[in-house]
Structure formats: structure tokens, C-alpha cells
Structure 1
Amino acid sequence: MRTLVLAAMLAGLPAQAALADDRDASEKAESEIVFHTTEAAKKAGFPFSKAVEADGWIFLSGELGIKEGSGLVPGGIAPETRQTMLNIRQTLADQGLGMDRIVKCTAFLADMAEWPAFNTVYKEFFKDNYPARSALGASGLALNARVEIECIARR
């Protein structure tokens, strides 16, 4: 803030102008947060948004291998990972974005021994560049899922 005031004074502007500009920027930043959800999520009463956008960054909630209307897909880690990635792709598409806009993913696996099978499917969803990624083993995931993935994308 001192830098803004000093810059304003050097430019021959009153310090109050710099402070007002700083407040305007701060108020604008607050108004740029958008919460994205679906009617199905609202109806189910889920206490989270599918995605939240702030200043061009899209933060996706953890996604499971759920197929709408039928629950968790059967068959273990590979089908669940595939459905999870399809769900992530759809959430991004709803915002006019593709998988190439993902910059970071975090994967939660119920069993780290399933890491190779997870990776095989995960790689199918990216062309040349992979997002930064972290992974960890979890002692339990919602709905007894084998995998949950959350991502951050940039508009």
C-alpha cells in the first residue's frame, strides 16, 4: 500500500487516489469469485460446489467415479479412475475449458498398490503435457471409492 501511495505522490496525484484505487481493486477481486454447482448436487444437498472460480483459477472439488443416476461405477480402480476423469472433463467443459487447462491434480487412492492401474488410465486423458500432481494413500474415501481426484485449472 505504501508503494501505491508513493507512486501516486510521485505522479502528482493525491495519496487518497491511490488508496481508492487499491480499495476498488480489492472490491473487484472479491466480486470475481463464482461458485459452480449442478441442479443434481443442489437437490442432493451436497455441502460443496462442483467448482469455484477466482480470478481465472478454477478449483474443482474432489471427484469420484460416480455415474449420475447409478452411483459408483463397478469394477475397481481402472473403471473408477476413468469415470472420475470423465467427470472432471465434463466439469471443465461446463466452464468452456479442456483438460489442457489443468495445472495441478491431487489423487487420493484407497490402496497405493493400485498406483500402476490408476496411472495407466490417468495418462489417457492428457496429450503431451501432464499437470503437476501429488498423490497419497487414504484410509477411506467417500462411498468406499478406490480413487478421488481434485484439480486446479486456469482459464
Structure 2
Amino acid sequence: MKVIHTDRAPAALGPYSQAYISNGFLFTSGQIGADPATGKAGATLAEQAEQVMKNLSALLEAAGTDFTRVVKTTCFLADMGDFAEFNEIYARYFTGKPARSCVAIKTLPKELLVEVELIAEV
């Protein structure tokens, strides 16, 4: 196993890694919509979702892969009413249409609106 870390994605908020490569696959921790330079997140779902995708892109790049090699995502929304808006942003990045789960949860870390984790081939 190999730990993947980049300063272009937010540091872990707890005792976990940003991502791992194991057996030819990248497994990321959930990425939130916080800017890694400032630690701040946008106020809207659209701003946070765009930042989530930038954070995931940074991890994919650090692992030597990209969005076209993603096989599975798990998406967490604070409000399922944001589902359509989230899908519009998501679809611009995940053009290969990987397998996906998308659920609404009661609360995300730092009261954020969206979090996404993924598994990709390396």
C-alpha cells in the first residue's frame, strides 16, 4: 500500500489519510468543498461541489491517474434538494459515468453541503 498526499487538497481533519493506492486502485477519503490554501468553503452547493472536484482532481493527479479511470464514487449531500444542481457539476467531471451511490446525511463535517469519495484505477 502507498499513502497519497498532496497539499492541493485539504489535509485530513482526523486520524486518516487523504488517499491510498492498493492493488492498482486509488481509494480516496471523502473530499469536502474546502479550499486547501485557506481552509474555507464557499457558501453555496455549487461553490463547494466545484471545490470538491478540484480536490479530487489533485488526489487523482498525485496518484498518476484521472477522472476517466474512476470506477466508483460515493456522494454525500446535506440536502437531497441539491441533487439536480450537484448532478450538473458532477457530470462535467465524471464523463465516464462510474458506478455511484448518492445519499443525504444529517450533517457533514464543518456543516458543509457536499462530500465525495472515489475509487479509481491507477
- Quote how far apart the aligned CAs of 1:119 are: 0.5
Does residue 72 of structure 1 match 2:31?
Answer: no
Within a 5 Å distance, the mapping from 1:125-140 to structure 2 comes to: 125-127=93-95, 129-140=96-107
Q: Percent identity?
A: 34
Asked whether the 8 Å contact 1:72–1:143 carries over to 2, the reply is: no
Amino acid at match of 1:96: G
Amino acid at match of 1:137: A
Output the aligned Cα RMSD. Answer: 1.7
- Quote how far apart the aligned CAs of 1:38 are: 4.1
- When normalised by structure 1's length, the TM-score is 0.72
* Mean Cα deviation higher: 118-127 or 57-66: 118-127
Amino acid at match of 2:112: A
SS at the partner of 2:65? coil
Amino acid at match of 2:67: M
- Quote how far apart the aligned CAs of 1:95 are: 1.2
Q: Which residue number in structure 2 is paired with residue 37 of structure 1? A: 5
* Mean Cα deviation higher: 144-153 or 46-55: 46-55
Does residue 141 of structure 1 match 2:100?
Answer: no
- When normalised by structure 2's length, the TM-score is 0.90
Q: Which residue number in structure 2 is paired with residue 19 of structure 1? A: none
* Aligned length in residues: 120
Unaligned stretches of 5+ residues in structure 1? 1-32
- d(CA) in 2 for partners of 1:141 and 1:92? 23
Q: Which is higher, the Rg of structure 1 or of structure 2? A: 1
Does residue 123 of structure 1 match 2:61?
Answer: no
Unaligned stretches of 5+ residues in structure 2? none
- d(CA) in 2 for partners of 1:54 and 1:78? 32
The structure in which a higher percent of residues are helix is 1
Q: Which has the higher contact order (CA 8 A, sep 6+)?
A: 2
Asked whether the 8 Å contact 2:34–2:42 carries over to 1, the reply is: no
Q: CA separation of 1:94/1:77 partners in 2, compared to 1, >3 Å: closer, same or farther?
A: same
Q: Which residue number in structure 2 is paired with residue 10 of structure 1? A: none
Amino acid at match of 1:131: P
The structure in which a higher percent of residues are strand is 2
